[in-house]
């Protein structure tokens, strides 16, 4: 779950990381800055790169604040209309830095990325001037003590008083990362002001959804659906699917986007689900939904998801398509699919347009499908071919 | 081959005559990663709604040297 900037900054403040003076205003409120002088208006939407897309506005004169805030509230930025604005004092900056902590899934340890240049696109910088970036792992057990954080910062050529201050901020950010179960904790930029203060100008904090139960305060924020006006409101069908996914922590089965076709899709595998979705459409199929399953979801979740998709009016068939899986068991998915279809009062043999999940425990999975007369295929049939079969099967149904 | 009308794929059977040591019973009922066993008044029972979650990991079989547990696949 991505926190909005002001929510993330309130957490930084709690951990002693300085943030600019500011106030959050909602659309119906009259914006009043709690300081005098130029202000920065920042749209509170859950995306990066707001500066480039008109989500950040500088207001030099107090009297312009109301008008500029109203204009920003009325602007749709990459599909989002801000419900809140953060009004902050505009600071006199001397230098900017970048710091981020995320989880390196290959090394299986948290990793710090620090750059002596902030406010930039870090990927571009890594290509052009890699010497300005230092990356280093640390462990959850030891955390990131200040002396180690200083070493990382010093690697990029930062010296003197800023080195001490930045090291301290970086160590605190590591504590935020660990203690809030974040998947990303980023300050970009961390500014050094003309008066020598270090201040976090922007912050991106992503919290692991599966750890929200350990943070009731953040979970309460997540529950507040009114905080973000999304590009497309979640439908009741999608909300119910998300509830299914939250039943247990095992795997994913319930990230659904609703469409108005007649072919239910139970697809997965990261990019493979997009490939399968596009392939179904390319072959003339009309998906009733997009969805993602993966990570070995429980049989119960697959069962409930299957039944849920079949409950959508007009959905006669489901296509079950994944890439070759190693971290999801084919037999467990097959059990869930068959159970869900039977629970919906349908016949698995008639209802599954195609089942194409090759991989772990496929021999067992195929036995189950054979027993219920379900059409399945192995890895010799491509995702594209499986999608064609599904589209054809659903087409016959609606013809 | 007959199919179950609601799709049941795994049945777990307990034969308590083969394992009466309360400590051992406690050990194998607690070991299942998908919660298939529970103790009711000290007696092990199968949680039916979880049976189809069985992954055939064999942990319960290992933890019960007396062989009180039998796992039956209903789709072969
Ligand atoms: S084999 Fe594994 S999953 Fe199945 S009942 Fe035994 S412990 Fe549970």
Q: Write the pLDDT tens digit of every residue in B37-68.
A: 999 998 999 999 999 999 999 999 999 989 99
Ligand 1 pocket residue status of B36, Cβ below 6 Å: yes
Q: Mind listing the pLDDT tens digit for each residue in A175-195?
A: 999 999 999 999 999 999 999
Q: Is A55 helix (H, G, I), strand (E, B) or coil?
A: coil
Task: Provide, as residue numbers in chain A, all residues whose Cβ is less than 8 Å from the Cβ of B55.
Answer: 329, 332
What span, in angstroms and rounded, lies between the C-alpha atoms of A195 and A188?
19
Alpha-carbon distance values, A391 to A34, A225, A243, A285, A367 (Å): 60, 35, 28, 4, 24
Q: Which of A20-29, A133-142, A283-292 has the lowest mean pLDDT?
A: A20-29
The confidence band for A143, taking pLDDT boundaries of 50, 70 and 90, is very high
What is the pLDDT, as a whole number, of residue A147?
97
| Domain locations along chain B | 10-73
Tokens of B43: 């007696």
Phi, psi of A110 (to 5 degrees): -70, 150
* Optimal mutation site among B71, B74, B75, interface A, most CBs of chain A within 10 A: B75
What span, in angstroms and rounded, lies between the C-alpha atoms of A278 and A321?
12
- B10-73: CATH, from 3.40.50.980, 3.30.70.20, 3.40.50.720, 2.60.40.10: 3.30.70.20
- Residue A357 CA, ligand 1 centroid: distance in Å: 24
ipTM computed for the complex? 0.96
What span, in angstroms and rounded, lies between the C-alpha atoms of A65 and A38?
10
pTM as predicted: 0.65
The answer to whether the CB of A190 falls within 8 A of the CB of A98 is yes
Q: Mind listing the pLDDT tens digit for each residue in A93-127?
A: 999 999 999 999 889 999 999 999 987 778 787 88
- For A1, half-sphere exposure in the C-beta direction (CA atoms, 13 angstrom radius) is 22
Residues 6+ apart with CB under 8 A from A302: A253, A266, A293, A332, A333, A335, A336, A337, A340
The confidence band for A396, taking pLDDT boundaries of 50, 70 and 90, is low
The confidence band for A399, taking pLDDT boundaries of 50, 70 and 90, is very low
Q: Which letter does DSSP use for residue B16 in this model?
A: G
Looking at residues A53-61, what average pLDDT do you find?
92
The per-residue pLDDT of chain A, averaged, comes to: 93
How many pairs of residues across A and B have Cβ atoms under 8 Å apart?
32
Ligand 1 pocket residue status of B58, Cβ below 6 Å: yes
Which of B5, B9, B76 is closest, CB to CB, to A335?
B9
Tokens of A236: 């009741």
Ligand 1 pocket residue status of B57, Cβ below 6 Å: yes
What is the pLDDT, as a whole number, of residue A168?
98
Which of B10, B32, B37 has the most ligand 1 atoms within 8 A of CB, as the residue to mutate? B32
Answer yes or no: is pLDDT of A349 > 60. yes
Ligand 1 pocket residue status of B39, Cβ below 6 Å: no
Q: Nearest-CA neighbor of A6 among A118, A82, A110?
A: A82
Domains by residue range for chain A, with CATH? 21-89 (3.30.1490.20), 93-223 (3.30.470.20), 236-398 (3.40.50.261)
Task: Provide, as residue numbers in chain B, all residues whose Cβ is less than 8 Å from the Cβ of A335.
Answer: 7, 9, 52
The confidence band for B12, taking pLDDT boundaries of 50, 70 and 90, is very high
Looking at residues A338-356, what average pLDDT do you find?
97
């Amino acid at each position: 779950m991505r926190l909005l900037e002001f929510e993330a900054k309130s957490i930084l403040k709690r951990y002693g990381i300085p943030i600019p003076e500011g106030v959050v205003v909602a659309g119906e409120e009259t914006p009043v800055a709690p300081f005098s002088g130029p202000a920065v208006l920042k749209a509170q939407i859950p995306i990066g790169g707001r500066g480039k897309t008109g989500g950040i506005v500088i207001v030099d004169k107090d009297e312009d604040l109301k008008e500029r805030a109203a204009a920003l509230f009325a602007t749709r930025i990459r599909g989002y209309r801000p419900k809140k604005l953060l009004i902050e004092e505009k600071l006199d900056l001397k230098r900017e830095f970048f710091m981020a902590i995320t989880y390196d899934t290959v090394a299986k340890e948290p990793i710090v990325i620090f750059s002596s240049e902030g406010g930039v696109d870090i990927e571009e910088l890594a290509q052009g001037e890699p010497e300005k970036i230092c990356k280093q792992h640390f462990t959850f057990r030891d955390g990131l003590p200040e002396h180690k954080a200083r070493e990382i910062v010093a690697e990029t050529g930062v010296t003197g008083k800023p080195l001490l201050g930045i090291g301290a901020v970086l160590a605190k950010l590591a504590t935020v990362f660990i203690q809030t179960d974040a998947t990303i904790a980023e300050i970009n930029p961390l500014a050094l002001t003309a008066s020598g203060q270090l201040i976090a100008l922007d912050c991106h904090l992503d919290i692991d959804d599966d750890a929200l139960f350990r943070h009731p305060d953040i979970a309460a924020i997540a529950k507040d659906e009114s905080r973000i006006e999304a590009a497309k409101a979640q439908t009741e069908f999608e909300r119910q699917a998300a509830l299914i996914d939250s039943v247990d922590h095992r795997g994913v089965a319930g990230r659904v986007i609703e469409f108005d076709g007649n072919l239910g899709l139970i697809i997965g595998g990261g990019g493979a689900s997009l490939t399968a979705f596009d392939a179904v459409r390319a072959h003339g199929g009309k998906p009733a939904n997009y969805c993602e399953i993966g990570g070995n979801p429980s049989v119960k979740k697959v069962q409930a998801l299957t039944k849920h998709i079949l409950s959508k009016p007009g959905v006669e068939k489901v296509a079950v398509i994944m890439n070759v899986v190693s971290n999801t068991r084919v037999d467990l998915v097959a059990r869930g699919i068959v159970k869900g279809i039977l629970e919906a009062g349908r016949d698995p043999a008639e209802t599954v347009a195609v089942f194409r999940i090759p991989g772990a425990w496929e021999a067992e999975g195929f036995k189950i499908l054979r027993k219920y007369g379900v059409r399945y295929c192995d890895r010799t049939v491509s995702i594209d071919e499986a999608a064609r079969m599904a589209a054809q099967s659903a087409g016959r149904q609606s013809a | 081959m007959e199919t179950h009308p609601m799709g049941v794929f795994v049945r777990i059977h307990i034969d308590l005559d083969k394992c009466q040591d309360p400590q051992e019973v406690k050990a194998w009922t607690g070991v299942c990663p998908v919660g298939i066993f529970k103790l009711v008044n000290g007696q092990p029972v199968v949680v039916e709604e979880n049976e189809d979650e069985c992954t055939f990991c064999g942990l319960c079989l290992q933890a019960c040297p007396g062989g009180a547990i039998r796992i039956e696949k209903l789709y072969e």
